[in-house]
Each structure stands twice: as structure tokens, then as C-alpha cells.
Amino acid sequence: MGRQKEVRFKQIQENSNVLQEGKPLFKLIKGNWGDSFFKNSNPIVLELGCGKGEYTVGLGRLFPEKNFIGIDIKGDRIAVGSNQAIHEGLTNVGFLRAKAHDLENFFTENEVSEIWITFPDPHHLQSGVKRRMTNERFLEIYSTIIKDSGLLHLKTDCRPFFDYSLETLTNFGVNNLIHTNDLYKSDLNVSHYGIKTRFEEIFTEKGFSINYLVCEFGIKKGTSI
């Protein structure tokens, strides 16, 4: 393990805005994020596969009346967002070191108001379909922990994965599904608040268009912009 990773792993162990295995609240947090972690009853928003937490921190800056949790299994990446949030004094930002398929171990029914999925691994091979974060098994988890009419956002540069996601979400029966294949040239551009992940900056600089969708969990309905 490199020196930088060692430092970052030590940081997230010490940082109070990170929950991971071994910390007292880790196995007790389910249903208690408001009372025990954020100490308020504000809405909870998740960024799944948050990486360095660009969206988690960015949204936390913009919406102090909401709580934001970045979730990733990579501790060295989480450390970057965790340190940034502490540096900026963002008490409405936290991080959970865990896998997305374990979400039901950490969130109870209707505990979450909104979910962001930003540039996930598209798992191109057929053998990886079940690992896609818009696979039906993940949608079942999201629908359990998210409140009625809770929003799901997805951003990706990968058109095949995006088309797959549109299909699975439609078949699942989401409501008010709105999408675009060129975010920065669509009316939906305002919906992502101008926040870019590191991967997004790389993709846009190379000329890739960004696919984006937002939907509510509910009755099947879809439109395209």
C-alpha cells in the first residue's frame, strides 16, 4: 500500500463524518441517520459510488437544509471528500464506506429522499449485468429505502448503459421519467447544478456527450427531451 493511501485510510478512521466497519455507529445507524449522525430531521440524499465525493460535497454546499451521504467501498477516495467537507465546515455531509448492494443494512424503509448515481461502472460484459447499478435487484433496494415520489438521478457517458437503464427503469414502473442524451444542450442542464465529477470533466473535454435522467419511483411513465 502506498504512503498516500495509508494516510487517507488513517484519516477516514479519525474523521467523524465517515462511517465504516469498526466504528460504533456502523452497525447501529440504520434508521438513525437523522438522530445519531446529522442530529437533525432534514431530508437525506445519497450519492452511490461517490468516489471522491464531488457531488456529495457540491450538493452539500448548495443545500444546507438537506443531509448528503456519499457511499463507496474505496476508502482512499472517500477520504478526499471527507477532508474537503471538514475543511469547509459542511456538517450536512457524511460518508459511508460500504457496497451499494448492502444499502438495506444501513437505511430503513422511506429513510432516503433522493438518490444520485454519477458515472457508475457500466459493466459492459454480459456477465456483469447484475452488477449494474440500475439492474432490477438494485432498483428493488432503492424503492424500499426511498420515500414515496423520491427522485433518482443518473449521469453517464456510456450510451449502451444508459439505454439499458432507461429500459430497466421503465419496466420497473417509475414515474415521470425524463431523459436526454446530451445534457449540456438540453433544458435539463439546470438539473445537475453545474457539478462535475472528475470523470465527467475528462469525458466532456474529449467531446463525449453526457446522458442524464431523473425519475420518481411510482407508476410507469416516460418522456424524452
Phi, psi (degrees; rounded to nearest 5) at 155: -125, 135
- The residue-averaged pLDDT of 196-222 equals 80
Cα(165)–Cα(215) distance, integer angstroms: 11
Render pLDDT for 8-25 as a digit per residue (tens, 0 to 9).
Answer: 878 888 999 999 999 999
- Mean pLDDT, rounded, of the chain: 91
Q: What is the pTM of this model?
A: 0.92
Distances (CA, A) of 178 to 23, 31, 47: 40, 30, 19
Render pLDDT for 94-115 as a digit per residue (tens, 0 to 9).
Answer: 999 999 999 999 999 999 999 9
Q: How many distinct structural domains can be found in the chain?
A: 1
The answer, yes or no, to whether residue 219 has pLDDT greater than 50, is: no
For residue 214, give the amino acid letter. Answer: V
**Per-residue pLDDT band at 63 (split at 50, 70, 90):** very high
Residue 184 and residue 148 in contact, taking contact as beta carbons nearer than 8 Å: no
Burial 7-46 (b: 16+ CB within 10 A, else e): ebbebbeebebbbbeeeeeeeebeeebeeebbeeebbbbb
Which domain CATH number covers 44?
Answer: 3.40.50.150
Its domain, for residue 202, covers 3-224
Q: What is the pLDDT of residue 218?
A: 66
Q: What is the pLDDT of residue 221?
A: 45
Which residues participate in catalysis according to the annotation? 121
Task: Tell me, letter by letter, the H, E, C secondary structure of 174-195.
Answer: EEEEEEECCHHHCHHHHHHCCC
Cα(187)–Cα(3) distance, integer angstroms: 45
Q: Which residue is it, cell 459492459? A: 124
Cα(221)–Cα(45) distance, integer angstroms: 23
Render pLDDT for 121-178 as a digit per residue (tens, 0 to 9).
Answer: 999 877 789 999 999 999 999 999 999 999 999 999 999 999 999 999 999 999 999 9
